[in-house]
Structure 1
């Protein structure tokens, strides 16, 4: 029997057409909940393979494609498809110049600043590889192209929108993300792989007055400033230094004239934690501080703290990850890291698995071209390299596409009987993962 690496080598498609596909998606990003053209393009590419049963319009612009290839396990491979309200500054000839209205109705420049264009194209490339290699595996393959990941709503929307009424419930769910690591590097990590994320809008009400008569007003900017500074003490003074937490005030809007104390101030907050107990403590502290600073300001108005988005903790199942450790190590060799650094960002990917009590694994892989990365590392400037969500973030197209696509294929063949000594054996003799599932 051929190894997984042999199967990939024998059946992978030419990279050239997928470079063109990537460039199209990169130049034409769409914001969360508005990925209509992106979804239509994906459907068009899948239809050319003339193999998949395609279901579109799931939970908005989500779509899933099914390939049933005899008896066996079922695996779902996921890629997210939305862009960000970021103005691209990479200078690439195919840089995005697109603008869209965001959820607040404000027109914003739009960019694939998080690499979702890599994810889309990589999964499409993996799909063609697995179609060409149909004789080498058995089971059911599900491709899931998920919208609105950046707004933490796409996965749950697809589940509530009937994803598992249209496709079989998978035995295992696998996803991945391109990161600002050295191109070619790929890794997994057992247990917690991504933090939770809670976002809020904070509205502080004041009393408007002339700037020359501050005693007649109630300054929401001063109250906001005190609140911002005090919020920073949560992590520095209330969280164990060996633990992980981040409290970020990412936006503040108040006033529009230099001689007017404004009526109100609006802030946006983002909170990241790595342990459920720490999350509860931090969120409680935020509420306490917000209300206490209003009292300290002598304000009769209670600030309004409104939740906007929530990403749950993301855990990699032990058995699934162990199976992938074996096949990833065999295929990627020394580029594979079985203890990749945990994602400090957050993901809603896990909902596709936890909603049906199935196990999952989320892998991470590098996108920075090797020359740039190695030079920065040698000079001690790695922290200067643009990261996800930066207007300058641009993965090495060829290396990141190949790594992402091959990772999807390796994952599929690990559980669908592809490759010598792999397949059902990785499932513990065809058993279930659910006993080791971390919810």
Structure 2
């Protein structure tokens, strides 16, 4: 498996076209600690297998099993089926703090177009957000900590969380007694792939990701013949007017200083051009940099939906269902500063940069309850050739959720392993 990191197997680019890797395949940073060859080999094997066999939110049976087996092999006591297909691995090593390393199990309903030798074998499904790399990195970091137990004291929990893409998994695991059953961690650590050069880490100084909410809306009309529109209440027209008016939530109801994004990602109605349907359905996502701005935008969106239905004379009020919601991601400032300093020492200051924040969202903030502190950072995935081409005015690096998203495993995986292990070592040392 190690040889695969040095040829063209895990990436679409031709190796001869690449400049020297910004980070050595077997040493993720310029610092003193390398990822041992056997640890990297095992983590790469897990990564390649997970990427080839992705599973959607709520169906992560195989993925959970593979992670559980790897953690057990490295000495963890493993519990399966927490909050769905969630996995919790525990390694107790004397008195000391409890650190939780969290990674996600689920993939996305996206058909892969990377051309990789280990591309998804599941039609219409791929790891387009890097969760496979998160899992392999967490497993690799755990293996490192397990083999160096004489250098730290405390408890490590590795959590494989299901259903992150639907923003349901973290809450489900907590509701299933994650903290009551396995202990409340002092700090929860997580990282996420990003379209930066592989081997680069990024920390935020404010919100890392946005608060978000997803709505499902059903507009009720009165169907009939397309030739007698006067006898109908057309929900398609109402839905179209609603989509247009919803754009004013950002342009006219949000302060320019606030960051808010509203997207109608789906409009579904009818089946034939000569039939006015009885209903239309909208899928709406609202994102904001703060929870307060999100609440204002949600209230405005609901008001507009109801008003447009009333203006159209719809026979009944619309159905508006809050499908999911997640708070803004605000890691603990003190823990973040400590982890960032450790990353700078390990990787070199030039490989640790500022993260400007993102309107992406995730449910990791749910774990910050009852005084639990968190740290979160981004891990670059772009190969040298991808980054060089993008910087030269060529095609942008394929971002997360793209069908062409393809982390450069040669550099991104060892960096992810080292970043997580380095953070854990630092926090164990500080709280002895």
Residues 196/144 of structure 1: CA separation in 2 closer, same or farther (3 Å cut): same
Distance 2:363 2:404 in 1: 25
Structure 2 partner of 1:402: 414
Contact preservation (8 Å) 2:167, 2:363: yes
Deviations 1:287-318 (A, max 9, x none): 11111111222323211111111112211111
Structure 2 partner of 1:131: 146
Distance 1:196 1:117 in 2: 24
Aligned ranges 1:151-162 → 2 under 5 Å: 151-162=166-177
Distance 1:392 1:205 in 2: 38
Given candidates 250, 274, 284, the residue that maps to 2:299 is 284
Aligned ranges 1:355-366 → 2 under 5 Å: 356-366=370-380
Deviations 1:409-438 (A, max 9, x none): 011001112xxxxx33xxxxx6xxxxxxxx
Structure 2 SS opposite 1:193: coil
Structure 1 partner of 2:244: 229
Distance 1:16 1:284 in 2: 51
Structure 2 partner of 1:16: 41
Distance 2:236 2:121 in 1: 35
Q: Does 23-32 or 188-197 show the bigger shift? A: 188-197
Q: Does 8-17 or 54-63 show the bigger shift? A: 8-17
Structure 1 partner of 2:427: 415
In the TM superposition, residue 6 of structure 1 has moved relative to its aligned partner by: 6.5
Given candidates 271, 280, 283, the residue that maps to 1:268 is 283
Structure 2 partner of 1:92: 116
In the TM superposition, residue 396 of structure 1 has moved relative to its aligned partner by: 0.9
Given candidates 67, 89, 94, the residue that maps to 1:42 is 67
Q: Number of paired residues?
A: 404
Scaled by the length of structure 2, the TM-score of the pair is 0.89
Contact preservation (8 Å) 1:19, 1:398: no
Distance 2:33 2:365 in 1: 27
In the TM superposition, residue 11 of structure 1 has moved relative to its aligned partner by: 4.8
Residue 367 of structure 1 pairs with residue 381 of structure 2: yes
In the TM superposition, residue 161 of structure 1 has moved relative to its aligned partner by: 0.9
> Which structure 1 residue ranges, 5 or more long, are not aligned?
100-108, 418-422, 425-429, 431-439
Structure 1 SS opposite 2:208: strand
> Which structure 2 residue ranges, 5 or more long, are not aligned?
1-28
In the TM superposition, residue 14 of structure 1 has moved relative to its aligned partner by: 4.6
Contact preservation (8 Å) 2:220, 2:315: no
Scaled by the length of structure 1, the TM-score of the pair is 0.88
Distance 2:34 2:116 in 1: 30
Residue 181 of structure 1 pairs with residue 205 of structure 2: no
Contact preservation (8 Å) 1:190, 1:317: no
Structure 2 SS opposite 1:123: helix
Distance 2:213 2:293 in 1: 13
| RMSD after superposition | 1.8
In the TM superposition, residue 7 of structure 1 has moved relative to its aligned partner by: 6.6
Distance 2:248 2:221 in 1: 24
Structure 1 SS opposite 2:371: coil
